[in-house]
Structure 1
Amino acid sequence: MNQLTMAIEEEAPAARFTFPRGLVIPVLLVAAWELVFSVGGFQSDSLAPPSRVALALARGLANGEILRATGQTLSAAMIGLAIAGVIGLIMGIFRGLFWRLDYVLDVTTEALRPIPSSALIPVMILIFGFGYRLESACVAFSCTWTIFILARTAVMGVEPRLLEVAKVLQLGLMDRTFKIILPAALPRIFVAFRLAAGLSLIVAVTCEVTANPLGMGFEMMSASQSLRPELTLAYLVWIGFIGWFLNAILVYAQHRFFGPAASVGAVR
């Protein structure tokens, strides 16, 4: 028995830590950046070495300043994403099912879709004022089109034989939608929500930088105007981390719930 155990242990590969290859270039760039300041004696009022940026980030997290701003940004972004999810999904399903309706509304869609959310901020301020409603409205407008287009494509890409089965079974519109179309299109619809989630963070921060006095974008602009480059860059690093972490969670959920079907039409 002991010999068998020893043989299995010899054949089993030892667990070894491998450094993620994707971090090689960022680590080298950060190290070179630090060396320019510490060894090269470089001085700047608009940049700060990574060590000071890391210290500012740690202080901001410890005193709750960065976490409070993060909560404000994510709250507005998620509210806008939820609104966009409902509107975009309904539009995508109906226009994917009824090609005549899609044809009639195509010109209107293509006229509204290219409008950047930043161009709508002055109009949104007149309607909603400042605060969460302004930011959520901008996020909802931008994310609706992403969810709508990919949901429509997913519905149109449903296997025709499944729709023939629905006709044979004489399923109504609601039963056909919830029992046949949505389950078949759900993996690709989830990809739409993944892309829209990343876009919601981008639009929310942009809105805060340009107009809305709350959240991470506003705090980053305030730090910049106060000539605090280390805090400005700390917010920039933190925003990038939040975006990466959000996408990582959604990628895990996508593969966890959809399995091999998650790779169909997936975008990393």
Structure 2
Amino acid sequence: MNALQIKQFKLIKTEITRFMMMYKFALNELETKVEILQEEFQLLHDYNPIEHTKSRLKSPESIWNKLKRKQGGLSFDGIREHVKDIAGLRITCSFLSDIYRIRDMLEAQSDLKIVEVKDYIQHPKPNGYQSLHLIVEVPVYMSDGKEFACVEIQIRTIAMDFWASLEHKIYYKYNETVPAQLLRELKEAADAAAALDRQMERLHNEIQSIREEQEDGEANELTRIMINNQQFSLPEALFGLLGDGRQEKD
């Protein structure tokens, strides 16, 4: 390899590294937003709709293989157009309603743009797979200006996540040639997981109703707030001031 080839190779490597960093930063930005939403929801509602999250970046080899399958041109613009899941974030929830609550919270973020939605919960795949997929465009501020990178977000319940993980392991073991009997059993397991999610949602709603009735009788709780594991008492004068303010507005 001569000096010119080495220089060209270094230039290409730098461009690829910058391109991958853009998606990493987009993923970091999105993870930070989700963490803030988690903490806000916990403080205001004493409830966290997110059990856990997991992020990943596709390798350059995986990106290249997907680009070939989609017959896209080998360029950064071609990759942006044909490979929307270079960066991925999986959000796992306890209940079905949490999935759509999180979607709504992400939609409310003014600097995020949801460019694609695939609802495999309302319309499961033939094999039983269920999850809500979003492609979100995230602004990234690099040293030479603002870029936009897409991140795929998969939001699913614990039951859906368990099934998807098991299905992936089975397909990997059989090299994607799974016996018909196992396919039938996987579909039955997916149906059972969906039934469990619906039952847990009903229980969750009933418990929430009971909890709200109990909170109505706990007036003392209204005069205290908890932030960052520190409890603060609210002075009665503050409530009077807020009350006067509401009356003036009315």
TM-score tier, shorter chain, comes to under 0.3
What TM-score, normalized by structure 1, do the two folds share?
Answer: 0.24
Higher normalized strand content (fraction of residues): 2
- Normalised by the length of structure 2, the TM-score is 0.25
Q: Which has the higher helix share?
A: 1
